[in-house]
Amino acid sequence: MKISSSAKYALGVFAAVAILAGCSSGGGSQVAPSGPSMGSNTSVAHSNHFVPERPAGIARLVPLSMLPKGPTHLNGRVAPDIARRGIYVSGFSGSPTAVQGFRKGNRVNDPSFCSTPYTEPGINGLAVDGAGNLLVPAGTGAGAGNLVVGQGPNMCGAQAASIADPYGQPSDASSANALTGVIAVGNIFDNGSHNSGFGSISLCTVSGGCTVNLGNPTTMFEVAGVAMDNSGNCWASARDLSGLPTLTYFAGCTGSGVAATGYVNGDYGGIDIDASGNLITIDSGIITGTSGNIDAYSGCNPACTLLSTSPMHGNAVFGHLNSLHNNKFATGNFVSSQVDIYKGSAASGFTYQYSFNNGTPIGTEGAAYNKRSPQ
């Protein structure tokens, strides 16, 4: 099966489309990949309703925009270092867009305080590496894409590198250090030249480009999330040819991978890894017609042990942990175009806390903390 190089694919709901859809700028026609049907398109009215109340008795004396960009004492207290810490947010669009940087702990629904000085089209998920560099997988079509690395550790740094992905349209990425090491890039669909048009993982470096492509035709028809741990092992969250969710484990990020056992997610979604090596996975809920879950597992190499299942506040495909105790998890709610914040752990599960939506993109997809989890 060969995927048209002119099509662009959004994971999740974007512009009132519920199942994976092709989007083009200017309201062009939507293109779905050939192959088995994975569900019907459902009209969803765009909602931008969440405006949280400020806690009683708390007033903002200094606007966020006037806070200094580094640590300093303000009225005897240390002001947040918003230049180095925050949450990156992306949305899928047919035209180039910038990634926005929001303050962490954004209960008062402040707008973004920075945006990347570069723009990219077709951004699905995004990630931060262990050095604080931003990973932006972008796709102009199923046959052409690239990964942009934004300079860290400060928020919204300059473009440090752009790596062409010759294998397909990137959807997600993971790396311990994107500027010096290997980057695992998940491709929604391969361009047909390597894995017969199925989804895949590209292994790339800044110096050498993308030179390895991993796939499994049994488990990886359509890829959403990818994760690589600090030991160099890879996982891909996907749907198979029948539309069922799968998790594929690649020991050492090599070979054809094996299907993880004990994996009970109802749909595909992003993957993150906590400080203990547990996988935090998103069940987007698109197939089941629910809001989905955050499911945590130990192992999955390839045998998984389910640690917790937590209902999500709204549908999301991508999300990431914070660095401090891994006790916060941010997801991009693509139906309500907002970021949902959860608190908890892999062992205890995650509980919804609040959302913010002031200036978040329509069809919000990616959400990632800077700093990220140690893994």
Residue with tokens 């048209």, as numbered in its chain: 4
Task: Give the domains, in start order, of the chain with CATH numbers.
Answer: 9-42+86-370 (2.120.10.30)
Please give the average per-residue pLDDT across 83-106, as a whole number.
91
Structure confidence at residue 25 (pLDDT): 30
Structure tokens at 119: 């723009």
Cα gap 273→116, rounded to integer Å: 25
Q: CA-CA distances (angstroms) from residue 308 to 87, 265, 298, 346, 347?
A: 25, 11, 10, 6, 6
Q: Where does the pLDDT of residue 36 fall: very low under 50, low under 70, confident under 90, or very high at 90 and above? A: very low
Structure confidence at residue 73 (pLDDT): 35
Cα gap 169→31, rounded to integer Å: 14
34 has a pLDDT exceeding 50: no
List the alpha helices (DSSP H) in 245-346. Answer: none
The least confident of 66-70, 184-188, 285-289, 327-331 is 66-70
Q: Are 202 and 210 in contact (CB under 8 A)?
A: yes
pLDDT, tens digit, 9 for 90 and up, residues 196-231: 779 999 999 999 999 999 999 999 999 999 999 999
Q: CA-CA distances (angstroms) from residue 253 to 62, 117, 203, 227?
A: 48, 32, 8, 10
Instruction: Please report, rounded to a whole number, the percentage of residues in the chain having pLDDT higher than 90.
Output: 69
Q: Where does the pLDDT of residue 68 fall: very low under 50, low under 70, confident under 90, or very high at 90 and above? A: very low
273 has a pLDDT exceeding 60: yes
| Mean pLDDT over each residue of the chain, to the nearest integer | 82
Report the Cα 366 to chain-centroid distance in Å: 4
Structure tokens at 290: 């629910």
Concatenated DSSP letters for 235-279? EEEEE-TTS-EEEEEEGGG-SS-EEPBS---SS---EEE-TTS-E
Q: Are 133 and 368 in contact (CB under 8 A)?
A: no
> Coil, strand or helix: which one is 253?
helix
Helices (H) and strands (E) in the chain, counts: 0, 28
Structure confidence at residue 144 (pLDDT): 64
